[in-house]
Amino acid sequence: MMSQWIKIAAVEECPPGVALERLAGEQIVALMNVDGEFFALDGVCPHQGGPLGKGCLAGAVITCPWHGWQFDVRDGQHCFSPSVSQPTLPVKVEADAVWVQVN
């Protein structure tokens, strides 16, 4: 299947410091705004499936609301376990909206 860009939020819905959970097609996405820059991760925590987009964002670190696993939203890297990383999605801002690329 070809990848495609999907609009998931208005820019104003996700100000700096905010994380959102959104659907892009059938994929759950965690969208984060770090100091005006947007990042997107697969929204399903690799631990037990918690909703990363409903977690707490502090700086560039999102904390899963279920058991506290933490990821750097810029590259998906788990903050303590080098072997764990969460897939990232390409993000762009266009026409006052945030778009992610899904496969």
Considering the complex, what minimum distance in angstroms separates the CB of residue 75 from ligand FES? 18
What binding mask, one character per residue, do residues 49-68 give for ligand FES by CB under 6 A, x or -? xx-------------x-xxx
CB of 96 closer than 8 Å to CB of 8: no
Exposed / middle / buried, residue 82 (Cβ in 10 Å: 0-12, 13-18, 19+): exposed
Q: Which of 3, 4, 48, 81 binds ligand FES (CB under 6 A)?
A: 48
Considering the complex, what minimum distance in angstroms separates the CB of residue 90 from ligand FES? 23
What binding mask, one character per residue, do residues 8-47 give for ligand FES by CB under 6 A, x or -? -------------------------------------x-x
Q: Which residues pair with 6 in a beta bridge?
A: 100
CB of 38 closer than 8 Å to CB of 32: yes
Pick 4 or 81: Cβ nearer ligand FES: 81
Q: Is 13 helix (H, G, I), strand (E, B) or coil?
A: helix
C-alpha angle 16-21-27 in degrees, rounded to nearest 5: 130
Pick 52 or 98: Cβ nearer ligand FES: 52
CB of 69 closer than 8 Å to CB of 41: no
Give the binding site for ligand FES (CB under 6 A). 45, 47-50, 64, 66-69
